[in-house]
Structure 1
Amino acid sequence: MNDSNITRLELISENRMFGGLQRVYSHHSKLCNGTMRFAIYLPPAALSGNKVPVLTYLSGLTCTEDNVTAKAGAQRMASELGLIFVAPDTSPRGQNIPGEDDSYDFGSAAGFYLDATQEPWSTAYNMYSYITRELQEVIAANFETADLSRQGITGHSMGGHGALTIHLKNPDLFKSVSAFAPICAPMQCPWGEKALSGYLGDNRDNWTAYDATELVRQSPSKATILVDQGSADNFLKEQLKPELLQQACQESGQSLSLRLQEGYDHSYYFIASFIEDHLRHHAKALNT
């Protein structure tokens, strides 16, 4: 791509935190047809000039880059472990597409980390390529201490779905993976069926490329997938279905650590409780 307009950043905010810097940037995105934002935490090790691994966090429905930055408490462990922590937005914004803002689970803040093929969504809703290509170029051009040969990916709910599918399709780019309460089988739940049909059309054969349960059957990775799921999550049975991912992993030989956390719900209180485990999981994988 190598477009200077793409890689040029505007600093929105900067705050000192645990010896590092928490920043938010905006930039022009060709793939998403407008301005995109992302948050990035630079740990002390990165500020000292050392090459450090990068962990990307994908947020869920209704979220922006702010949710994990403000609520999860990831920066303390990122500082200690020496991880750059990147949190992009969840979708394009302000496309003026009819219906874009009519519901919380489709359109704005609901990009589902796929590349839309249906008009008018295909003009901007290309979050899969944004994460795997465009944001990669932005980070490479602007953060020389980011070691892009050592990257992991994680996320929550819709973002957990994104983390799992993006890793399984790009195991050499994102070498480690984890998820909080992911949508494990979007082809078999209301959230997923609405998003996949709207963005990709009615041919369900085209949906399998964005369904972690289907992908892990086709192409298991060498990584260990860490998944935390709260037992008191209101969306567990209807939308998330971790048992389907677990079954697929058993059938394909994919290494999976699925932990059912008793009494925890779908909120950021749950994520904040286990974010340390996830950062340690990625640091261990990326530093070996």
Structure 2
Amino acid sequence: MSLEILNENRCFGGWLKQLSHPSEKLNCSMRFSIYLPPNASEQHKVPVVYWLSGLTCTDENFMQKAGAQRIAAELGIALVAPDTSPRGETVPDDPEGAYDFGLGAGFYLNATEAPWNKHYLMYDYITEELPALVESLFPVSELRAISGHSMGGHGAITIALKNPERFKSVTAFSPICNPMSCPWGEKALSGYLGEDRAQWTDYDSTYLLSCCEDQIPMLVDQGSADQFLAEQLKPETLLSAAPEGYPLDYRLQEGYDHSYYFIASFIEDHLRFHSKYLL
């Protein structure tokens, strides 16, 4: 495997690394960032939280803005943040250059429509290729959790619900809960998957939660002042879909918006939540 280190920084006794590698799933070069806590070693492999970012983001937003490394270092948990879509000269983008489709907007699904299906296989990348790469090259164990924000919250919940054997827990900030019934989701799902709405259900958190057989501990934080709350995020659909007794902790945080100030305010809670199931 050809792995290029782009940046490397000491951080809270551990190491933050930004790397690039050729992706077989996505047919392009992909970038991701990893934080390794001080206790990570070949003799002591540490559990890992995968973070999925939202629209327009890259692997850098979370690592630079969330302030998660201090708590990860204390808990002894690695953090991995992939990019939000395939990228490169051969990778197609939204014809109008819109922010909510194409580059920076992979929606963590496997596209079936041309030309997107050649590169936009983010679901396979997150569930298969990236964990295999991380676990083979770094002192990281197979104990995994997943988290994300907005589009990434959608990705984290759908991936966790479909892979309870792979992930011990899931958390999300401001997730797109019902993409089948919001403008962001309808544009992405129709573009990547086609007009057959039956194919969309595989990537809709509300639908998946309503018919899930396994339970995975879930924490969702939503800001009451989020400008996208009513039209795009629709957390009430997720709450109504949860089976009775499902381990879903939903918290409406008064006055918080959609920004990384919100994430930075509560990321410690999320990492400590994951630690209960990883450590």
TM-score bracket relative to the smaller structure: over 0.9
Name the CA shift for 1:46/1:98 in 2 (closer, same or farther; >3 Å).
closer
C-alpha contact (below 8 Å) 2:160/2:216 kept by paired residues: no
The one-letter amino acid paired with 1:9 is L
Partner SS for 1:45: coil
Residue pair 1:100, 1:106 contacting (<8 A) in 2 also: no
What residue in structure 2 maps to residue 227 of structure 1? 220
Q: Deviation of residue 98 (structure 1)?
A: 5.8
Specify the SS of the correspondent of 1:35.
strand
Distance of aligned partners of 1:11 and 1:17 in 2 relative to their CA distance in 1, 3 Å threshold: same
| CA shift digits 1:97-154 (9 cap, x unpaired) | 26356100000000000000000000000000000111022112201x2111x10000
Q: Which amino acid aligns with 1:227?
A: V
Mapped partners of 2:260, 2:193: distance in 1 = 30
Establish whether residue 245 from structure 1 lines up as the match of residue 238 from structure 2: yes
Query: 1:177: which partner in 2?
Result: 170
Out of 197, 201, 210, the position equivalent to 2:203 is: 210
Residue 186 and residue 252 in structure 1: after superposition, are their counterparts in 2 closer, same or farther (change >3 A)?
A: farther
The answer as to 2:262 corresponding to 1:270 is yes
Contact kept, 8 Å, 1:20 with 1:42, in 2: the verdict is yes
Q: SS of the residue aligned with 1:232?
A: coil
Q: CA offset at residue 252 of structure 1?
A: 5.3
Note if 1:157 corresponds to 2:150: yes
Matched, 1:259 2:254: no
Q: Does 1:284 align with 2:276?
A: yes
In structure 1, the gaps of 5 or more residues are: 1-6
State how 1:38-117 maps to structure 2 within 5 Å. 38-47=32-41, 49-94=43-88, 95-97=90-92, 99=94, 102-117=97-112
Secondary structure of the equivalent of 1:228?
strand
Preserved CA contact (<8 Å) 1:115 1:125: yes
Deviation at 1:219, TM superposition (A): 1.1
Residues in 2 aligned to 1:223 and 1:276: alpha-carbon distance in whole angstroms: 20
Residue 25 in structure 1 maps to residue 4 in structure 2: no
Contact 1:185 1:241 in 2 (8 A): yes
The corresponding residue for 1:122 is: 117
2 CA distance for matches of 1:102 and 1:221? 39
Where does structure 2 lack aligned partners over 5 or more consecutive residues? none
TM-score (norm 2): 0.97
Q: Secondary structure at the match of 1:193?
A: helix
Q: Any idea what the Cα deviations from partners look like across 1:228-252, whole Å, max 9, x if unmatched?
A: 0000000000000011000101x35
